[in-house]
């Protein structure tokens, strides 16, 4: 089980804000910490995996729940 260190509610925000806010929220977390991101921007489906790959973070899961996307990101280190 991945223990969630923090949750970012990015619903209502459009590209590139969900990724920018996720980057900012990950900064103070320890390497290996998990950030849960909620988003409803259709572009986030492409942007979040790309951001994780570029920044060295692991995208643990990406799914849709109740009409919003839920991402679990493990901070790289």
Assess if residue 8 is contained within a domain: no
The answer to whether 76 and 30 have CB atoms below 8 angstroms apart is: no
11/29 Cα distance (integer angstroms): 21
Indicate whether 5 belongs to any domain.
Answer: no
Structurally, how many domains does the chain consist of? 1
Tell whether 28 is covered by a domain: yes
Q: Indicate whether 25 belongs to any domain.
A: yes
Show which residues are catalytic. Answer: 15
Write down the pTM of the prediction: 0.95
Inside any domain, residue 1: no
| Per-residue pLDDT of the chain in tens (77 residues, 90 and over written 9) | 679 999 999 999 999 999 999 999 999 999 999 999 999 999 999 999 999 999 999 999 999 998 899 999 999 99
Range of the domain at 25: 14-34+43-57
In a domain, 77, yes or no: no
Question: Does any domain span residue 20?
Answer: yes
């Amino acid at each position: 089980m991945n223990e969630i260190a923090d949750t970012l509610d990015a619903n209502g925000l459009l590209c590139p804000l969900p990724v920018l806010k996720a980057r900012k929220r990950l900064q103070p977390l320890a390497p290996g910490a998990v950030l849960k991101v909620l988003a409803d921007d259709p572009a986030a489906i492409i942007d979040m995996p790309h951001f994780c790959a570029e920044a060295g973070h692991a995208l643990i899961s990406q799914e849709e729940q109740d009409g919003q996307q839920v991402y679990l990101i493990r901070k790289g280190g």
